[in-house]
Amino acid sequence: MKLTDLDIIVTSPPAPGWGGQYWIFVKLTTDTGVTGWGECYAASIGPDAMCHVIRDVFERYFLDEHPQNVERMFRRTYSSGFTQRPDLTVMGAFSGLEIACWDILGKDQDKPVWALLGGMMNERVRAYSYLYPLPHHDLRSFWTSPEGAAQSALDLVSRGYTAVKFDPAGPYTMRGGHQPAMSDISLSVAFCKAIRDAVGDKADLLFGTHGQFTTAGAIRLGKAIEPYMPLWFEEPVPPDHLLEFAKVASAVNIPVATGERMTTKAEFATVLQTGGAAILQPALGRSGGIWETKKIAAIAEVFNAQMAPHLYAGPIEWAANIHLSVSLPNLLMAETIETPFHDQIIKGSIRVDNGFIPAPTAPGLGIEVDEDLARAHPFTGEGLHLMMQDAPCDYQNGNSFAGGAPVKE
């Protein structure tokens, strides 16, 4: 069996657009007629340019190769052009293609992907979700409303979720780390208090940041929210300061989580070796794919760290996350986005059930992709999947930053 064909679909989720501005799906076909699906988590270039990168990686390292040779394809791609180091864009392309190979292998052997990764460790996967606006919430003011966040948290708990994530801590700027405004610290404390008061001990609080703080600024914010016992303090410093995570972890009594903007075991191992993280959050469409992330999880075991695969993308990456999660002994939970469009793209083939995702049983990734629906929603914008803010933190008027993807109305 050999890989012979590649198709790429760039689809844009409709309003309100949870999951980013666009998703990049790849479809591989073999000379035996088996097809496999993967998803490339968006990189630092636009989707048109990214499609050229994906095709280049496929034609150089995947075309005419047996899909089972993921190790060889990884080493060739990782070393491409005399680099042999983590490259976010190239690894994003590789990751989606690699996921599609596992989908093919599972279908060819009539087994779910998790069965090829050491078998079932977890019959179901604990899910968590961001707090998204409910139908009666204003899409703009929700992100600075502790009351609205508490209502959304209660809604998730009523549906069986046992962990909720929120991110009220101010802008992600292209200027690097900054000190949080006092208003951002106060708002973060108010969010933690309102949500904790609402859910009690029914759910863990997952405090999200996205690398927007200096080390000292992250410590100030972390210590302010300590009394509410969040389960994690997510990506407190920029991902290009791998050695600084340990300083935050040693100063704040909240487990540090990180990983959505990291790729390959080279970066994850550095954070683990320095004691910088207790929870890893790889995004499988960027981290190197399923096999590389299985290795990352094995390294994490040695350091008594847990895995919580990240998702701010489409349902194909989510499916890959779930299969990996089913196989992991050190799984904590997996991020989930429940929208009608996510569900429709994979025709409801994997779903959350009372706060958990049952292990898929169908061959491969266990999903059926609605190609017509994906193609019917092309991306026509000019932005990237996620974007940083140019303006600095506003210390006078406060900040309202609804993530890196503009809300569609």
**Are the CB atoms for 15 and 377 separated by under 8 Å?**
no
Mean pLDDT along residues 261-276: 97
Residue 402 pLDDT class (50, 70, 90 cuts): low
Is 385 one of the annotated active-site residues of the chain?
no
* pTM, entire model: 0.97
Active-site annotation holder among 66, 137, 310, 385 = 310
The tens digit of pLDDT for each residue in 203-213 reads 999 999 999 99
Q: Which residues contact 220 (CB under 8 A, 6 or more apart)?
A: 179, 180, 185
Mean pLDDT along residues 350-358: 98
Active-site annotation holder among 178, 210, 323, 342 = 210
In this predicted structure, what is the pLDDT of residue 181? 97
In this predicted structure, what is the pLDDT of residue 383? 87
Mean pLDDT along residues 267-281: 97
**Are the CB atoms for 15 and 409 separated by under 8 Å?**
yes
Mean pLDDT along residues 253-260: 98
In this predicted structure, what is the pLDDT of residue 400? 82
Q: How far apart are CA 60 and CA 77, in angstroms?
A: 8
Beta bridge partners of 27: 7, 37
Is 310 one of the annotated active-site residues of the chain?
yes
In this predicted structure, what is the pLDDT of residue 129? 98
With a cut of 70, say whether residue 15 has pLDDT above it.
Answer: yes
**Are the CB atoms for 57 and 93 separated by under 8 Å?**
yes
Please say whether the dihedral angle defined by the alpha carbons of residues 235, 336, 318 and 41, taken in this order, is positive or negative. negative
Mean pLDDT along residues 72-79: 98
In this predicted structure, what is the pLDDT of residue 62? 98
Structural domains in the chain plus CATH codes: 115-365 (3.20.20.120)
Q: How far apart are CA 99 and CA 86, in angstroms?
A: 18
Mean pLDDT along residues 96-124: 98
In this predicted structure, what is the pLDDT of residue 208? 96
Mean pLDDT along residues 272-289: 98
Displacement of CA 8 from its chain's centroid (Å): 20
Quote the tokens at residue 50: 């990214």
Q: How far apart are CA 96 and CA 223, in angstroms?
A: 38
With a cut of 90, say whether residue 320 has pLDDT above it.
Answer: yes
